[in-house]
Amino acid sequence: MANEAVNQVIADYYRDFSTLNVQAILRYFNQPSLLVGPQGVVPIPDRAALMAVFGPVMEGLRAKGYGRSELELGYVKSLSSSAALIGGVAVRYKNDGQQLERVGITYVLHKTESGWKFATVILHDPNAPGAGKQ
């Protein structure tokens, strides 16, 4: 079932992101992919571009005492046999367990020959309708 496979990809991604090792998350992204956020739309054509975006993000989190992330799942929608939409709130915690930040996030996933990959990642207000648990 697509939703189970997509949920597993998300769980694995959050586990690997929590290591703050940019190399560990590269396999989750389609090439090319897009990041959409407050700074605008950022095209990610390849692994080098992914590293250029996520490396500084991870260094910034490390400097803040980051410990791990969890997704408060809001929704999972299978759009077709090769497309899915998943959204919620990424909750980031410090090493001591205190909440660091909450980020609304929506993923558009595409099923490739090697599995489900992020085609687009959209960062948004964590209080947006439908972002958190329903």
132: in domain:
no
In which domain, by residue range, is 77 found? Answer: 2-124
Quote the pLDDT of residue 3.
82
Per DSSP, helices labelled H in the chain are: 2-17, 22-25, 47-63
Strand pairing report for 66-80 and 40-44: unpaired
* Selected residue with higher pLDDT from 2 and 3: 3
Banded pLDDT at 98 (limits 50, 70, 90):
very high
> How long a stretch of residues is the chain?
134
The tally of domains found in the chain comes to 1
Question: Is residue 2 pLDDT above 80, yes or no?
Answer: no
CATH number for 22? 3.10.450.50
Answer whether residue 133 is part of any domain: no
